[in-house]
Each structure stands twice: as structure tokens, then as C-alpha cells.
Chain A
């Protein structure tokens, strides 16, 4: 198969970017999208040209590293798929494919198609956890968890932190990412002691980092490679409203943190 690629090239976060047009020839339909880009890069290297920077790691859809907007869609046209699991047979021979980075103020471009998603780690660091010191846990079966709650927690916990939700959101909002963690921990009895504090702190941090607001367009859910539901966002909205207005365990000195 042959394709005409339009690859976003940008030297660094401050530089202006533009599209480079490249012909990808002799592409096997069994190649993944990233393997096709590998070949393009190998050709660049053979010709002594600068390879296009794009990120990937596990290449089996679980690490969340790959981050390409393919023809306007994060991770490409398939549902429930990361770019590394997207195969070229899904495209038409001769098609023009435009490849762009995640675009969001909170995810500055590092180079070409690679962006910095450290904002996600920062959000987790203010509350996306259950505070348990190693060694202090009771027996695992000491606290029964209804199967339905464990299953719902797992649905939310499947998030791979790729940022496709932000990339797909017309407002570059991080609501689905944050909601997935709030909902994962909020569904479990272990997560209850910090439930109010967690949601307030994580939402404050999210707001502070320059993500946009949710307008319930559900693009995040549609783009999510793990198909995490916006139901978790509704849950976070409830939790946040209750915790912020009626919460009792909020430490005032930390409220704005």
C-alpha cells in the first residue's frame, strides 16, 4: 500500500510548526501505524535526515505512551484502540493521512509529535491515591467489597493515562482522566476516608494547570482507547459538589493547594 503522509514537524515547544509531506511506499497492511512510521523514520535516517519524533513504548495498547492525532482523531478512526494497535489495513490505499500531536495548552509540544503530559502526574500527586504506608495494611479479606463496586472501580481504573481524552475534547479538558481516578478510588471502601479531600484537591489542581472546562460533548469517551464512560464524570461532579459545599474534612490551609 502507498500513502501520502502529512507529518507535523516542530523543532520545540517555542518554535512554529508545519506539515512535512512524505510518501510512504510499499506499506504492508499488517503493519501497525507506528511500524509504518518506523519505516518512514528509517528512510529518513538512511537519507541523513532528521527522524520525526513520536513516542511509543509497549506497543500493545496498555502503557499509554503513544499519542498521535490521525486525520483529526486521537489514536485514529477505530474505537477502543491506541495508535500502536491500529493497523494499516484500516486505511485506503493511496489515502492522505494527516498526523498531528495532542494539542492542548497543558500538554506543550516537546518536538514534532511528542508532547509533555507531566500535568497528569501532577494531578495524581495531590490526591490520586489512598494513603497507606507499606506494612500497615490489614488482611486483604478483612474488608469485603461488593463485586459490583470492585467491577466499577476496575472499569475506571483501566485508564492508561494517554491523554486522548484531552486531545479529543474540544476544550482540552482533563475531566475524564481525573474522573476515572476519582471514581476508581471512590468506588472502594478503602478510598472513603480521603474521598472528599481527594476530589477537591484533584479538581483544583486540574483547573490550575490550564485544562479547559467540560461541555459534556463526550468526545473523551469516544476517543478513550479503554472506552471509559462519562458516567464517571457525572459521579465526580456529584462528589465534587457535595465535597466542596458540604465537605467536613477539608483542611483549610490546603484548600487552595
Chain B
């Protein structure tokens, strides 16, 4: 298979403009005749559904939540980037483009990233008009801050709840269209299979989570905006319900999965408290602006932190990276914390955390100033840990936070299955091997508001789409396989809750396919995961009925998919024998233990094709990446 990204010709800054002119457009009167299914109502899904409905398409939006507003986009804290250059500090489309390509460690497509940077300003304009209460200065104009180590202040924010406010903006636009009858909203419906007719995506099989009924929905195009797969690790900052099922089902129907091993691990999370823990909580990385990261110099030092004198503390980031210090990028900070804990220097009961100490900052600027800046984060930390970070150092540990990999899409955001479009975190497109802060929200909204609304028309006009109904045999086939799988889950009469298998999978992925990976560990993971999978199908306990609101059944189905997907993730990590961004292969590092890329052999997107039952035999297809505008360089933060 040749992966054609369909990147338009021409200069990088003209591609999108020219392409928009060259695309075919749908006659306004014909738009309502095209039915489009949008699965997922987060930033990307809600914005896409709203925009397409405004254009006049017949949109059906689906979410497995009780309301579109629950999507996990809502939890994003920090902000959203744009190149407005309001602060007059030299920002430009070109600079955001450059930062994003470099930050992604040269594993993203230049054309996509440039388009993202171009659209960034339109997003801010649109969201402001929708009533998103971005932070403002006293003069009434928008405030910006520097975020995630960027050298310009280009981040717009709404307190610590930017994701929430952007999502609510998109949700409200969506609900406006629901009220106007342009969107039919289906809540509590979970996508369990994609229906393809003659190789073209034409529908979806959903399970009604309240009644258990299977529903068939047909359409001219299907859009997946179903988020990332960070929950494969069990413990992550993702929501309890976040899952890979929709994307994985599409993968099994022929959509290629790109770079599944590219996962982002966020350095400043509240550490794990015990086996019972169901999720991890992220704290904004802005904490590293004032907190100093350290561990005791001696392994097994059990003294309380205030009893450890200055000379016996190891400020490992400051020592190793004198110029960036505590502000090194996410992947570097995370990896070093892990390294300290691996050396037995970790603190806390589990030994799996490092100190983030505000003592010096409080002495320098006073507790009041620190409270003003981080009060809500300190409050949240205290709520969770019962420790007062004004008095004792915080303890932090990295946690899985975002997944850069996803279903492969071309410049039109269409997957390798014609008609199946993938938006937001669910696709692989713009962040390469490492995502910069405040750019996930930007990408989700760019995809939904501004890109798919243009490119889908071109698809609908350019392809003859014969009329079909849900009586088509392909729907019956898909429904039969979904039903068989549900029956199999309900029929498993083991005694083990699904969460236990999920935890085991998570531990293996975290240990072998987490912050640092090596051949031995990945091979171990590839051996273990199929075993857990087999035990799962023999030993899982799913009580209750299929004709009911059955959370155990929902969970078991999602875990079953993670158990398959996890293997592909490890396989991809094993195959990519280089380090880049969040993917750190221990075999490929510089003499100073930094990630060492291998551009000669791995400057490509690794897209995996499902081959029957066996995940280990998935076929690898490579989309070569070329860098004409940003030159390949080694990242350095010394």
C-alpha cells in the first residue's frame, strides 16, 4: 500500500489557501441530502458537528456519555496557542510552525503543521465570539502567557480551565444546531463497529448503553473524533471512560494506525497512592516555573525533607541542564525523574516520586504571591494527598497524559478507508513524537471548525456514493460480529473483574513501553500481553445482562480492545529503533543520555495495517517525512 498524504503542491505558506480554492464545493441545496455521522463530541467532534450543520449538512452526532459536554477535552487546563502576536514579542505563523515541528522532534508533516499554525488565529477569533471567557487585561483586551517552555507569549487561557471553556463553546454551538434541528444528537450510544460497503465507510454499529440495543446508522461519511488511547496504561490523566474502541474497530476494518508508540508522559502529576488508584491527576506544568525538583543524594534516605541539608539534596534537573534547569521539556523532565527513582532515590512511601519544592520561592516572593499564582493547584494537591505544599515539598511523578499516535489520515483528515475521517487526538497528524503545551486544544478545534468543514465537501462531491440503507448486508454482518463479541463477554463466567486485567496490562506497558523502552522490555511486553488477553477471555467476570445499563460489560469491551491495541503499541515501539520525542529507546541515546534520532532509517510515519487475527503480523507501511522548511537538528536543552 502506498500512503498518499495528498499534500498540495506549492510553497508551504500557500498550500492551504490554494487547496481551498481547488477543492470542489457542494451545492448549498444538496448539502442537506448528505448525512454525516460524527462519533465523539469533544473539542474536535462537537466543533465539526456544529460547523457541518451550519453549512447545511444532515449531521448525526454520537457520544457514549450522557451529554456532549462530558468529553475529556474538558479537563485541559493550560491554554491554547495562536500566533496573534498581541504581546509584540515577535511571534508569527512561521515561528509557531517551526516550534511545533521541532518540538515534535521532526516526526510530523510540515504541511499539516503549517496549516495548523495558519488556522490558530481564526480559532481564537471564533471562540471569543462564541463567548469563551478568555483572560483579559485591565484595558479589556486579551491576555497571553508563555507556556510549556515557549519563548514567546502566545498562549490564551481561561483561568486553569481553558479546555472546559473551549469545549463548552463548541458544545453550545452544537446544541444550537440540535435546537435548530440541523443535528440529531444521540447520547449514551457507543460505537462498536464501523460498517464499510465496497471498502468505503458507510455506517456505524452502536450499542445503546441504556437499553443494550444495537443500532445501525448509515451515512455518506463517518467522522471519528474519539480521543486518545492513554488509558491503555490503565493509570493516566485520561478519564475513566476514555478508550480506544472506536479507533481500534476502525483499524480492524482497514484503517491504518500510525505511530501508536508515540505517547506523552507529563512530568508534574500527583504520584500514585496505592493499588486502588483509578486515575492520576495532572497539575499544570507552570509549577516548574517556581518549584525546584530534587531527591536525596543517598538512596534510602527516610528523613523528612526539611531534615535533609542542602548539601545532601540532588537538584538533578538544575545540575544536568544548567541553562534550562527545571524548565526542560516534558519528556526530558519525566525521563530524569524516572531515572532517579530507578536508582533508588525516589521519595514517598512507594519510592516513586520526586520532590517539587517551593520553599525557596516562598522565601523569595512570599507565600501570598505563590498562593496567587498556584493557589488552586496547591489546594487540589492538598485535597488529594492531605499534605500542605506550603509547608512540605510537593511530591510529583510523571503520568501518561496524551497520545500523539492515532489513526493515519491524509491532508484531508481522511483515513485509509475512504469516507472515514479522523479528527483531534484520535488521528496522528500534527504533533510528531512530542506535543508542545497548549497545542492539543488548537489541533482539535482546527480539525473540527476549520478543516473538516472544507475537506469533507470535496470528498462528497468527488465520489459517487450509491444510496444505501441499513438493510444492506454489510450492516447485518457487522451487527452479527458485534453481537457475537458481546455474547462472548457476557458468557465468560470467570471470577476476575475487567479492571484487574486492565491494571496488569497497564503495568506492563508502563514498565516496558513507558518513559524509557528497550528491546528486551518490549519483547517481554509482546510475550506477556497476548497471555493476559487469553486469560482475560477465560477469566473475566461480566455480570448482569446485555439488555441493560451494564457498566461491567462496557468496561470489559474496552479492556478487551486495549489488550489488543497494547500489543500493537509495543510492536511499534520495538520496530522504531530510534529515540525521538516521547519515544525513548535506551539503545539510541547520546553520550549525555539524550534522545538520539536516526533520521536515516526512521524519518517516517509508521502506519500499521491489521492482518486478520494476529496482531504480531500487522503489516508496516511507511510514509516518508521530508523537511524542506525546518531543518533536521538535534534538540538540545543544555
Contact = CB atoms under 8 A, between A and B. Distances in A.
A130 B281 contact: no
Interface stretch (B125-133, B216-224, B253-261, B476-484): B125-133
Interface stretch (A37-45, A68-76, A228-236): A37-45
A91 to B, nearest CB: 13
B178 interface: yes
B541 A45 contact: yes
A89 interface: yes
Nearest to A38: B278
Contact of B543 (A50, A61, A124): A50
Contact of B386 (A31, A89, A139): A89
A31 B275 CA distance: 10
Given A50-B544, A144-B139, A185-B131, A134 B449 contact: yes
Contacts of B130: 129-130, 132, 137, 190
B564 interface: no
A116 to B, nearest CB: 7
Contacts of B102: none
Interface string B169-206: 00111011011000001010000000000000000000
B251 interface: no
A46 B497 CA distance: 6
Interface stretch (B61-69, B432-440, B587-595, B607-615): B61-69
A175 B71 CA distance: 24
Nearest to A126: B179
B129 A130 contact: yes
Contact of A35 (B277, B383, B493, B498): B277
A150 B50 CA distance: 25
Contacts of A45: 495-498, 541-543, 552
A16 interface: no
Contact of A57 (B128, B240, B497): B240
Nearest to B48: A134
Nearest to A60: B281
A122 B257 CA distance: 37
B279 interface: yes
Interface string A120-164: 110011111111111111111101111100110110011011000
Chain B CB count within 10 A is highest, among A48, A87, A130, A151, for A130
B66 A124 contact: no
Nearest to A78: B383
How many residues of B sit at the interface, in one of the four size bands?
35 or more
Contact of B276 (A28, A61, A143): A28
Chain B CB count within 10 A is highest, among A30, A126, A191, for A30
B186 to A, nearest CB: 11
B70 A49 contact: no
A244 interface: no
B423 to A, nearest CB: 14
Contacts of B239: 57-59, 63
A153 B165 CA distance: 11
B499 A188 contact: no
Nearest to A120: B67
Interface in B18-49: 47
B69 A64 contact: yes
A55 interface: yes
Interface stretch (B3-11, B156-164, B291-299, B576-584): B156-164
Given A63-B70, A121-B68, A130 B141 contact: no
A35 B65 contact: no
Given A63-B70, A137-B125, A153 B131 contact: yes
B133 A129 contact: no
Given A45-B543, A50-B543, A39 B124 contact: no
B383 A81 contact: yes
B140 A146 contact: yes
B324 interface: no
Given A51-B552, A138-B125, A157 B51 contact: no
B172 A121 contact: no
A63 B72 contact: yes
Interface string A172-184: 0000000000001
Nearest to B124: A140
B500 interface: yes
Contacts of A138: 125, 129
Contacts of B542: 45
Nearest to A26: B276
A3 to B, nearest CB: 14
A41 B497 contact: yes
Contact of B75 (A36, A62, A85, A130): A62
A53 interface: yes
A2 interface: no
Contacts of A120: 67
Contacts of A121: 67-69, 175, 178, 185, 187
Contacts of B70: 57-58, 63-65
B372 to A, nearest CB: 14
A46 B125 contact: no
B134 A147 contact: no
A111 interface: yes
Given A60-B279, A134-B51, A44 B543 contact: yes
Contacts of B362: none
Interface string A80-111: 01000101010000000000000000000011
What 6 A-B pairs come out closest when comparing CB atoms? A144-B140, A125-B179, A137-B129, A129-B172, A140-B128, A30-B273
Interface of A: 12, 28-32, 34-36, 38-39, 41-42, 44-46, 48-51, 53, 55-65, 81, 85, 87, 89, 110-111, 114, 116-118, 120-121, 124-141, 143-147, 150-151, 153-154, 157-158, 160-161, 184-185, 188, 190-191
7 contacts: A45-B495, A58-B75, A89-B386, A129-B173, A136-B129, A140-B84, A144-B140
Given A35-B277, A140-B128, A140-B142, 4 more contacts: A44-B543, A51-B544, A58-B74, A63-B74
